[in-house]
Amino acid sequence: MEDADVFTRNAAVERYGGCLCGNIRYCLTAEPRVHYCHCDMCRRATGSAFAVLGWAPVAGLLWLTTEPAYRRSSPIARRSFCQSCGTPLTLAYDANPYEVAMHIGTFDDPSGLEPRHNYGSSQRLGWVCC
């Protein structure tokens, strides 16, 4: 993980998002560092072949409504989700309390958030093209 200083900070940047049912809404005020993750944990947590995550400073994340529920997903990480609809929202590692990864599919407009890296590639499924 990198220092929070590597993120683009811009007061004009505000990206909004939330869960499927609308009970949880957030605003992110930093441009996230976006990547694919192919690890087993991310696959199972998302129910998909891979996760698309955007890392940003915790200080740039503002919960606008109810905060999500948190659960430990491994001895080194915790994930958040909406208790009402189950939408996965964040991933955070204990080793870096200053960063949080947002699930890109939860942004209202994820079109400009293109992944730049692949992580967990040794666990990538053979038929995945990214």
Residue 27 CA from chain centroid, whole number: 13
Q: What is the pLDDT of residues 33-86, one digit of tens each?
A: 999 999 999 999 999 999 999 999 999 999 999 999 999 999 999 999 999 999
Q: Please report the domains of the chain, with CATH numbers, ordered by start residue.
A: 4-123 (2.170.150.70)
Give the model's pLDDT for residue 10. 52
DSSP 8-state symbol, 85: T
Q: What is the pLDDT of residues 94-129, one digit of tens each?
A: 999 999 999 999 999 999 999 999 989 998 988 888
Closest Cα to residue 107, out of 37, 59, 46, 53? 53
Q: Output the pTM of the full model.
A: 0.87
